[in-house]
Chain A
């Protein structure tokens, strides 16, 4: 198939593009410049690629089929400047460099630590629900709840002043928009890096009790590395969970029978969170990997240097993963879903995200027994224009 026909538009609120769901598990796509890229949608195949060290996570040369033109322009820009993966940005690194950075952070995000943090998360959630309750109806659930909760939590953990949230929230939003041009990406990156460089400099002088100060004291990282790690954690720490909270609430309100089950059996919340992660899979852009040698995925031969784009969203709707994958079923037993990825790059903050969602959804449902959409579902502005799917706003009443 040619890239001009690559499906990115959704026909429904919660399903990935229908054509993507009908792809074979591994599909070759011919880009307009004559090169070949791959799209992988099968659950077993996506999982296998993510676990295979012969696929590199260095995406500086990657061109996925869902936004090839922008990827190519970015690649040209980086090549012209001789830039590779920024130091410290370990999401784009392979072993052994990847592990050296990740190991500095894993102890901060263990399941035990995140559960210990749940009391504090509950306070933050409660404050935001107070704010929502005091708002005129209809109120936007994204602005009062879904976005502030994870932003406040990651700011506190990392040691970023929440008062300066607009600077990183704006940057993340710009960088995640599919149509942001290369010049704007440049300007935004420069601005957010300036903000983080100032923050790192301040922490050197006056350390506080947070991850960033801890890294400065113990790790021997350069300021450049600290800035890139901070931006990675900050961006990954708020946009993903924010969209799960917003889109998850929208999904529950659109599936009243599921919402009813969850209200009747609140103990189901942890598995319901797993099901929402699977069903909604907000990482809607293709996850890039680059083949470092000629290798096969099933019967298909991928050549060295070719990009493989992984659709986590399609993989999580594979019938081989679970029965009736197109149904939202909060009672479904936990699946091996790929919403947090797989392999050595699997989400560092996944236990934090689980805690935020479990505490957040539980408190929202407890507090707002009559929560409802304040507009028709068709009027909810969807994030079809963003690399992370969700709702831009969710007007609710109660």
Chain B
């Protein structure tokens, strides 16, 4: 499982950071998503999937 982020689409809502802080942060420059670790640890997949699903702009996806 690999996290894919599209910062062109991202609107900086911060929902992913709120949902899975271990994997996502926001840029100091423009608030867009920064993926801290693109391959979730075993047991964290659920939280990462939740972050992808809740993203308002469709900027996040998962590659399996």
Partner of A103, one of B15, B30, B56, B57: B30
- What A residues does B26 contact at CB under 8 A? 106-107, 110-112
Expressed in whole angstroms, the minimum distance between the Cβ of A390 and any Cβ of chain B is 23
Q: Is B18 in contact with A351, judged by CB distance below 8 angstroms?
A: yes
A-B contact count (CB 8 A): 64
Q: Which bracket fits the contact residues of A?
A: 20 to 34
With A342-B56, A344-B56, A346-B56 as given contacts, are A109 and B31 in contact (CB-CB < 8 Å)? Answer: yes
Interface residues in chain B, defined as those with a beta carbon under 8 Å from any beta carbon in chain A: 11-15, 17-18, 25-32, 53-54, 56-58
Q: Interface residues of B: mostly helix, strand, loop or mixed?
A: loop
Distance, CA A346 to CA B30, complexed state (A): 16
What are 6 pairs between A and B in contact, CB < 8 Å?
Answer: A103-B31, A106-B26, A106-B31, A107-B27, A110-B12, A346-B11
Q: Interface residues of A: mostly helix, strand, loop or mixed?
A: helix
- What B residues does A341 contact at CB under 8 A? 56
Expressed in whole angstroms, the minimum distance between the Cβ of B25 and any Cβ of chain A is 7
Residue of chain B at shortest CB distance from A270: B18
Partner of A99, one of B11, B25, B56: B11
- What B residues does A133 contact at CB under 8 A? none
Partner of B57, one of A344, A347, A348, A351: A344
Distance, CA A347 to CA B11, complexed state (A): 10
Q: Is A346 in contact with B13, judged by CB distance below 8 angstroms?
A: yes
Residue of chain B at shortest CB distance from A102: B11
Distance, CA A343 to CA B9, complexed state (A): 10
**Top 7 A-B pairs, shortest CB-CB distance:** A106-B31, A106-B12, A346-B56, A111-B14, A110-B26, A107-B31, A111-B17
A339-396 with Cβ < 8 A to chain B: 340-344, 346-348, 350-351, 354
Interface residue A51 (Cβ < 8 Å from any Cβ of B): yes
Residue of chain A at shortest CB distance from B56: A346
- What A residues does B32 contact at CB under 8 A? 106
A98-132 with Cβ < 8 A to chain B: 99, 102-103, 105-112
- What B residues does A111 contact at CB under 8 A? 14, 17-18, 26
Q: Is B11 in contact with A109, judged by CB distance below 8 angstroms?
A: no
